[in-house]
Structure 1
């Protein structure tokens, strides 16, 4: 059976594990690595009919100690992939972010994206407006682009705790209006904006609680401490969460807030929907185009007085959170993990994805290229890798 080499492939990344379910079941030998050197070595060992599937590009150039080494890595990678394609290896690139969120060599990263677009046999976009969203940085080859929406996590994360049980576990009063941020806590995720907005909101909403949970770098933690909102109950956990712990933190919140800077896709958004929690996102054109009709997604303007804008959007979302939480859970059932994996397998096999079945209406099936209404640019986390 053919080999699929995924890069970078972290064993505990839920999105990757779900995506490759159907290919593994169909007999594909799914392998992976997270190291650049191993990527080059193993790509050279691929043969006709095999697939190299590139996801997040940050480890190729951005982990280099200096720009000269980053340039060398880029050229070696491109030469290696070019040679592999001449031997019958296919390249699939999934665009998770416009650019890596923390970029030391920006120009090289843009060049890498352009070269990947040129070399790829198929470019997968999770958000159907990715072509427009990345156009300010680089152009994606429209004729190669396929839309494969990010599925929910239905059936994956345990839903064994009630809202009451989750709040008792975390020490949150049952009737306290509660907003949450769960995922790796990093500067690009707009965490200080969230803290400032929570302080504003605390003066308007009685007995407000803020939940913060996720791995936090040692150099970021002092900044969090300095900006903690006054007069707001804050419950924190600055480390990785197990799947069960993740469910507790989401279930304890009324509204999840993700004020990411230049977010393209967010796995956290889909996890929130899976656990029936409405979300607040920045009003980016591609996000509005994708989720603007969903009652469980609210938007704030990421310009002007951003703190006040965010506080206002969260306050409004809290008012309707019980109703929109049910809408979020309904959305999550429309496109399930195995449906996504099945569609990815059809892409690998050269066919057209089936899309949602009759019982899975919602996110569109994967389509080759944009529709006539999506031609060209018209107009920033991910999701960590993945959230």
Structure 2
């Protein structure tokens, strides 16, 4: 019999086959009443979800990937065997590619209608708020309407920043009794980390003395691309002529991303790999670097900064409480979004935060966001809120 990766490859039995498998694990590892929780969309390139759900079985919750979001209600068929719930993550796919408001209203009504039917049949709903708005939002008012509709149907709203409710006040009404704060887990043990700094730099053609700033992840306009190039040029001119900007990630199809890739490709002090980075090569870019960059125009949660810290890198981030709250307090440099001179100064400060002791301090700090502990906290909180019933 050939291997079929359940939860990775859709089949005619999905997602029920995967849900039954997860239910058996929940029953095996916990005496509590089992919960089958279908989550969607599924992100396999990013280990965030595997970290988030890693302790769920021992808490009696079978976290089940739903590869096709339109099937999110299918786990409701297991209601005779367990409490059933759905956990929504990024909502950008609901209105993706829609630039007509009437079409957006129909898509929103269809999505919310499926949630209503699931809840009417006894299911619970949770949502993790990842972003202030989807990064590729076209109709922002339609996205806000969708998000408000989801929030009103939630038994639990998971936030990873303690500042989320305040940041969204005025654009999203949340029942704060349903808000559950559990921070973003670290990426400890998610990526290979066996290459040395010398081997990583050798592979990328970087000299030992060069100061390296890395931007890792999808190349998108909201990440302050043009500002970063201008600020890096000024930093290299005024402070460190041997500095390197190292960029790794797939660009989207925006004009800003295309222009950035074109300039970076021709730049003598920039190294760029404009493609998705295989998981086993992530270590090359992070072990070769001295500083991790997140020079974003807007941010709520940043998986990149958690990954940088997992590899012991000090970070450059916006001077905003949600960007700073989980970072090492002494090994970070902040700037006001849009302030080119401020970013130059942040690069200078971060560039001075290098060395084995800094790396050890940052790695130790990152371990405080222990994935197993945070996963148990989330599972416990979701069970409590699901048991409390639907929103008032």
What's the TM-score once normalised by structure 2's chain length?
0.82
**Equivalent residues in 2 for 1:57-68 (5 A)?**
57-64=91-98, 66-68=100-102
**Equivalent residues in 2 for 1:24-173 (5 A)?**
24-26=57-59, 28-39=61-72, 42=74, 45=77, 47=79, 49-64=83-98, 66-173=100-207
Q: Decide which of 222, 245, 249 is 1:210's aligned counterpart.
A: 245
Establish whether residue 340 from structure 1 lines up as the match of residue 374 from structure 2: yes
SS of structure 1 residue aligned to 2:55: helix
Q: Following TM superposition, by how much is the alpha carbon of 1:331 offset from its aligned partner in structure 2, in angstroms?
A: 0.9
Q: What RMSD over aligned residues (CA atoms) do the two structures have, in Å? A: 2.4
Distance 1:150 1:212, change over 3 A: same
Task: Give distance in 1, aligned partners of 2:78 and 2:319.
Answer: 42
Between stretches 64-73 and 209-218, larger displacement belongs to 64-73
Task: Give distance in 1, aligned partners of 2:136 and 2:250.
Answer: 16
Q: Following TM superposition, by how much is the alpha carbon of 1:67 offset from its aligned partner in structure 2, in angstroms?
A: 2.5
Q: Following TM superposition, by how much is the alpha carbon of 1:22 offset from its aligned partner in structure 2, in angstroms?
A: 1.8
Q: Which residue of 2 aligns with 1:367?
A: none
Task: Give distance in 2, aligned partners of 1:237 and 1:50.
Answer: 43
Establish whether residue 250 from structure 1 lines up as the match of residue 286 from structure 2: yes
Q: Which residue of 1 aligns with 2:36?
A: 3
Residue 123 of structure 1 contacts residue 145 of structure 1 at CA under 8 Å; is this kept in 2? yes
Task: Give distance in 1, aligned partners of 2:329 and 2:370.
Answer: 17
Q: Which residue of 1 aligns with 2:306?
A: 270
Superposed CA offset, 1:32-53 (max 9, x none): 33544334x5366464721110
Distance 1:293 1:176, change over 3 A: closer
Larger radius of gyration: 2
**Equivalent residues in 2 for 1:276-295 (5 A)?**
276-288=312-324, 290-291=325-326, 294-295=329-330
Q: Following TM superposition, by how much is the alpha carbon of 1:94 offset from its aligned partner in structure 2, in angstroms?
A: 0.6
Task: Give distance in 2, aligned partners of 1:217 and 1:271.
Answer: 21
Distance 1:117 1:302, change over 3 A: same
SS of structure 1 residue aligned to 2:86: strand
Q: Following TM superposition, by how much is the alpha carbon of 1:24 offset from its aligned partner in structure 2, in angstroms?
A: 3.6
Between stretches 151-160 and 46-55, larger displacement belongs to 46-55
**Equivalent residues in 2 for 1:370-381 (5 A)?**
none
Task: Give distance in 1, aligned partners of 2:234 and 2:373.
Answer: 42
Q: Decide which of 211, 219, 223 is 1:177's aligned counterpart.
A: 211
Q: Which residue of 2 aligns with 1:297?
A: 332
Distance 1:324 1:265, change over 3 A: same
Q: Which residue of 2 aligns with 1:307?
A: 340
Residue 62 of structure 1 contacts residue 70 of structure 1 at CA under 8 Å; is this kept in 2? no
Task: Give distance in 2, aligned partners of 1:287 and 1:272.
Answer: 13
Task: Give distance in 1, aligned partners of 2:102 and 2:57.
Answer: 39
* Unaligned residue ranges in structure 2 (runs of 5+): 1-22, 24-34, 387-392
Greater RCO, 1 or 2 (C-alpha within 8 Å, sep 6+): 1
Distance 1:218 1:93, change over 3 A: closer
Task: Give distance in 2, aligned partners of 1:246 and 1:336.
Answer: 21
Superposed CA offset, 1:325-349 (max 9, x none): 3321111111222222222221233
Q: Following TM superposition, by how much is the alpha carbon of 1:128 offset from its aligned partner in structure 2, in angstroms?
A: 0.9
* Unaligned residue ranges in structure 1 (runs of 5+): 353-387
What's the TM-score once normalised by structure 1's chain length?
0.83
